[in-house]
Structure 1
Amino acid sequence: MDIRPPGRRVRVPEVAVGLLVTVVFALGAVLWHLSTVEKDPALVVASNVERGDVIESIDVRIGYVSSDDPLARLDSSQLDQVVGRVASVDLAEGTLLTTSVVADGPAVDAGDGVVGLALDPGAYPARGLAPGDRVNVVRTADVADLDADPIVVARNASVSAVDELASDRLLVSVLTTEADAEAVAAVAGAGGLRLVLVTP
């Protein structure tokens, strides 16, 4: 005669109901916590913006971040601090906007000049150029005179605009002093000019 006690039966419906109740209460607690956290409006990137692009109003939207978030941010009243300025880095959609990721486009003042250079690949940095970059304009030595030192035609110039041409060529507008701009224009026809990216 088998006198072993009967095995313990697990009541699946009761277990499922208990698990469901636990999950519902946990989700409710999370939602309640989120609703009680105060959030502040902040300017964020509405769509991807590449380095060197001018930020327009359609590129910016209002997002909301926790008021306890220590990250620097701009609020909706500071829209004029980013719109019309140039992105100094690539900005992905959703990025919080701050004054550190934008720069003013170069302005032509009295005594300044802007000169355009059509450059082949290798005559500009591989990373490319963007408005606001600081460059030196260098004339390389002629092949017939390899002992000659390269000539710096303009120092600490500023890139004011970059346009892409065919075959990876770039048309780069360079802002510098009027005298240096004239010197660059005078030697540009002979070729051999290169742009060296320098620290601002």
Structure 2
Amino acid sequence: MNKQLLLLLLISSLSSCIKEKNANFNNEQEKTLNGDFYENSEASHLNDKGIELCKNGNYKQSKEVFLKALELEPNNPTTLSNLGLNSYLDYDYENAIKYYQESYKISDSTFHIAAINLGLTYFYNEEFDKGIAITNYVIKNAKDNNFLSSAIVHRALNYLGKKECDKAQTDLNFIIYNFKEIENIEYHIKDLTDRIKNCVEHN
């Protein structure tokens, strides 16, 4: 069962909970992945309920539900990561970063979903060096191509935030060469191509 509500979102399932500012951002995302195992069935149920509330744009209510789930399982990285996403969608980047960091810390830096989402949140919060550092960690340690492709896309965005057009282009070239089979990767390629062109023109 998919427990993890990600920044790596399935477009059709969460289009209703993305505000206009995030409409284009949501198109960068394409995957849902399995979340962490819940030992407590009520915590699992609350997590599912929080996801549904978020889908409907009820961010305050969904946060309350996720926090109740967290009370039952304080060390569950999925709930923490979902709190991060919920905060992100409500434009609360500081809390999003806090929850993602806690999720990753609790998982001993193995819950790469939180790190990938953290890298992207750093981009929108204009903390580009931090975004590059965390995506570098994922790229070095993750094995799954879904994680790797998303981390490289997010690193490229942070490079663009720093106006390092050449480094972003190198990441884009790597994506084109290695990840053509990843679902919806064509969106990433087009988006990064346009952003890099704009970066070069304005440097």
Tell me if TM exceeds 0.5.
Answer: no
Rg larger in structure: 1
**Structure 1 length-normalised TM:** 0.24
- Compare the two structures and name the one with the higher helix fraction: 2
**Structure 2 length-normalised TM:** 0.24
Kindly indicate whether structure 1 or structure 2 has the higher relative contact order, using CA contacts under 8 Å at least 6 residues apart.
Answer: 1
